[in-house]
A and B are shown apart, each in its own frame.
Chain A
């Protein structure tokens, strides 16, 4: 049983006009097996929350704490956070020219498992993960995210989620840019990871449609850098009907 605890998190980012505060005190606790949806309008700071937890250098933590099973996440380097069990599925996965998907996955798995996976079982493992996400075998030889379609990038992220087996996953707008079929395939991948690894999920989304496939236990409405309302799955239905207008004007 793992617990990701976010307390009073304040984050700012440097802009041309000086430092701007984006997160204004976020409190959130996620336990293994739970799925929390964070919903909010564009520009509310949802992605900043995701990237701050993962340790992107662009963001400066100005207050609060993030711990995973009591360990200070904010004190860890980016790779240490991954080794502690955190995973961020990115909205815009980055191209790494000249580095093949298979080389990348094996390097990551070696780093996270502390030893190189045995070649024979590893090849089968990757093949299985790719098949489960309807990915062509030629994918493994392509360069990381280079020339991938939007849907391919998201499948590649979820394939990593399944292979690398983190304790906590943050999915940053994984649903954006996916057609209905791809959304279903990607969601099934997330649900498999939940079932197999007792994964805790922080699902960041703008729209409710992904919640039909990945059922949240808790829904948090995010606006102007903090959580403004919390509830069960029915809160998503309310948002579907009324939009975010009530929260933005607050």
Chain B
């Protein structure tokens, strides 16, 4: 056990990046007062397929970060959990990583690397479960021509605090697709970020979140188009129910002057299921060149559509079941992208349960 060193700038809540986050509920992750336990909780759930390896090794960070918690993690931890996929390996079945331990009275500082060799194809599903205090620096390296579907499931129990950056570095003609699902925890703050390092790269960042009474979930995207002819798509859908449920979605997309031929679109839709909940949604498109294919964003926040509920109920379906169908339908578009029936059904049942608990 050790106390985090404190020679970092501690956020006050006035910074743009921290203005929505309830710092007092971060249990000391942001200001160095959290006691660090010796946990390395990330493990493989089943045996690894051929072409994949999972090791612990010392690795330098892939990319710089200006996030103070990421800096703290890097200052403390050199040991990285590394899932590596060999070049040209085409792995059909998803690789599951899960959490073997958790605790709330001490923090886990975690560094994770997922790397794909050239033309490798894989799906990785990370299950974040239990009650834990966890700060994570997760970096993904996609070599030229590789393709990764990266699913993170925040299925925490109710007291967890999770702050993380999930950063992908996408090389020439590589395809990165992430599906971020946040349905559990007290405070979850994830920075899904992408940088393109060569033309022809593409990234699709999908996500769903469902916050109920008192939960705070923040997803702060950053897509950096620093090279020509890269494509990005962002589509996050959120639902909120119950008093003081609060979600934040920030979609920062930067198209640098050199990034001619960029094609980007970002979308965030929120469904407010009860009064007393709050959804912040801030798309932010910064464009430094006009020579692009397309750039757009949209953000909507709405309530249950009475006409939909009426239609379903006019076929004998109770109000409760009609609401459940509409919420499931709302999330379905993204959830089905996971491509694993068992996981999808488990998530839908969790969403049903959250809806019921919130009394929406």
Contact = CB atoms under 8 A, between A and B. Distances in A.
Contact of B311 (A57, A81, A93): A93
Interface string A81-124: 11100011010011111110001100110011000000000000
A90 B316 contact: no
A87 B90 CA distance: 52
Interface string A180-195: 0000000000000000
Interface residues of A, number: 30
Given A56-B310, A96-B312, A111 B317 contact: yes
Interface in A194-211: none
A98 B319 contact: no
A160 B332 CA distance: 23
A111 B314 CA distance: 11
A174 B307 CA distance: 18
Band of interface residues on B: 20 to 34
B316 A57 contact: no
A88 B314 CA distance: 7
A133 B173 CA distance: 47
A58 to B, nearest CB: 8
A193 to B, nearest CB: 15
Contact of B316 (A56, A83, A98): A83
B315 A99 contact: no
Contacts of A93: 311
Chain B at the A interface: mostly helix, strand, loop or mixed? helix
Interface string B301-338: 00001111011111111110110011011111100000
Contacts of B313: 55, 77-79, 82
A57 B308 contact: no
Given A57-B306, A111-B321, A143-B329, A96 B311 contact: yes
A248 to B, nearest CB: 30
Contacts of B317: 79, 107-108, 111
A82 B316 contact: yes
Contacts of B305: 94
Contacts of B311: 90, 93-94, 96, 144
A78 B332 contact: no
B315 A97 contact: no
A105 to B, nearest CB: 8
Contact of B310 (A94, A111, A143): A94
Given A93-B311, A99-B325, A99-B328, A164 B316 contact: yes
Contacts of B315: 82, 104, 108, 111-112, 160, 164
Interface of A: 54-57, 77-79, 81-83, 87-88, 90, 93-99, 103-104, 107-108, 111-112, 143-144, 160, 164
26 contacts: A77-B319, A78-B313, A79-B314, A79-B316, A79-B322, A82-B315, A90-B311, A94-B307, A94-B311, A95-B308, A96-B308, A97-B329, A97-B330, A97-B332, A97-B333, A98-B328, A98-B333, A99-B326, A99-B329, A104-B325, A107-B325, A108-B316, A111-B317, A111-B321, A144-B311, A164-B315
